[in-house]
Amino acid sequence: MDLAALRSSVDRLSREFATKDGRRLSLEVLQAEVDRPLVERYLAFQPRNSFQGLPPLKDEVCVKWVADMLRTGIHVLARTREATIAGHTAIFPIDHRKCEMLVVVWPEFQNIGIGTALVQSSIKMARQLHFERIWLPVDATNSRARHIYAKCGFEKVSRGQGREVDMVCDLVRAEAEKIAAHLPPVPPAMTPPVFPSKQRREAGRPKVLVVRECLGQAKSAHHAE
Ligand SMILES: CC(C)(COP(=O)(O)OP(=O)(O)OC[C@H]1O[C@@H](n2cnc3c(N)ncnc32)[C@H](O)[C@@H]1OP(=O)(O)O)[C@@H](O)C(=O)NCCC(=O)NCCS
């Protein structure tokens, strides 16, 4: 898969947004496969090993983890006006239909809407790149993460490994629902149609004849037993 081409095709998703406390942050699609400031930010994340063993405790493992992510994913950074990295999201293609998603907001910036904005931008990216599903494993006890995933359209699909649950965002269904939401409303329920010719035929026949026919059918069914 040509990740460089995928990255440049979603470049125009870069934009600004406002946090719940009124700060303006930029969302920027990363084009480079090396980003020293992101490595430094993960090395400074406190406490390390706080969500699903991440960021890795040992520095060299942490540096390799970030380098591997940069090489294999499509990344968006949320930066303050002073260029501090406040949050990071990425999608990692699994195959042509499915990708995995990661989202991290640095503790001093949590709970002001950055995580939600990042998840939404990963969903937009995945949609633009024609993925059908985004999958992720999340710790069952990580209720804040599970809340934002559910808010953005992810559903729990199964228990993952250990304490993890797997969640999936079905982009095809979400697209179909979005289209359906713009269709004109369905007319109120009607009685089932009666073909006019049949209606006319039955209206013209004496009721007793119809009843006899039915009795006859019941009789022959009884004899056949
Ligand atoms: C999970 C994480 C990405 C969320 O990002 P964030 O910027 O803090 O989230 P937001 O501010 O956009 O949204 C937080 C939402 O959770 C809600 N929330 C806060 N604490 C909560 C809790 N304990 N339980 C449930 N919901 C909670 C908030 O009310 C808010 O919801 P609302 O906008 O509907 O009111 C961030 O906390 C984080 O990076 N944590 C560490 C890394 C991590 O766990 N990543 C996920 C790995 S799967």
If one counts every other C-beta atom within 10 angstroms of the C-beta of residue 73, the result is: 23
Residue 187 lies in a domain: no
pLDDT of residue 177: 84
163 Cβ closer than 6 Å to some ligand 1 atom? no
Ligand 1 atom 23: the closest Cα is on which residue? Answer: 144
29 Cβ closer than 6 Å to some ligand 1 atom? no
Residue 195 lies in a domain: no
72 Cβ closer than 6 Å to some ligand 1 atom? no
pLDDT single digits (tens) 45-78: 999 999 999 999 999 999 999 999 999 999 999 9
Residue 108 lies in a domain: yes
If one counts every other C-beta atom within 10 angstroms of the C-beta of residue 109, the result is: 20
Domain range for 85 is: 3-181
State which H helix or E strand residue 184 sits in: none
CA distances from 166 to 46, 200, 220 (A): 25, 59, 59
Tally the domains of the chain: 1
This prediction's pTM: 0.83
Residue 191 lies in a domain: no
pLDDT single digits (tens) 137-155: 999 999 999 999 999 999 9
Residue 205 lies in a domain: no
**Residue 190 pLDDT > 70:** no
Q: Residue 120: which CATH number?
A: 3.40.630.30
In sequence order, the β-bridge partners of residue 101 are 91
